[in-house]
Structure 1
Amino acid sequence: MEPGEYAPVPGCTDLYYLDTDMYATANYGSVYLLDAERPAVIDTGLGSNREYLFDALDDLGITPEFILPTHVHLDHAGGAGFLAERYPDATVLIHESGVEHLVDPSRLVAGTKAAVGDQWQFYVEPEPIPEERVEPLSGGETLDLGDRDLDVHHAPGHAPHQVIFHDRGDDVVFTADAAGIYVPQLDTIEQTSPPSQFDLHGCQDDADMIRDLDPRYLCFGHFGPREFDDGMLAGYKRTLAEWVEAVRQRREELGDDEAVLDHFAEHAPQELIDVWGERKAREEQRMNTRGVLGYLDYMEKQGETI
Structure 2
Amino acid sequence: MIRNPIKWPNGARCACAISFDIDADSLIHISRPKDGHDRLYPISMGRYGPTVAIPRILETYRKFGLKQSFFVPGWVVEQYPDTMEMILKDGHEIGHHGYLHEDPTAHGPAEQREWFERTLDSHKRVIGNTPKGYRAPVYNVNQSVIDLMIEHGFEYESSLMADDIPYLMKTAKGSLVELPVHWGTDDWPPFAHYDEIGYMMPVASPSQGLEGFWEEFEAQYEAGGFWLAIWHPFLTGRLARWRQVERWLEAVLQRGDIWFAPMHEIAAHVRAEAAKDPNAVRVERLPYYTKPVLF
Provide TM-score, normalisation by structure 2.
0.31
The structure whose residues are more often helix, as a share, is 2
The higher relative CO (CA closer than 8 Å, separation ≥ 6) is in 2
Give the structure with the higher percent strand: 1
TM-score of the aligned structures, taking structure 1 as reference length: 0.30
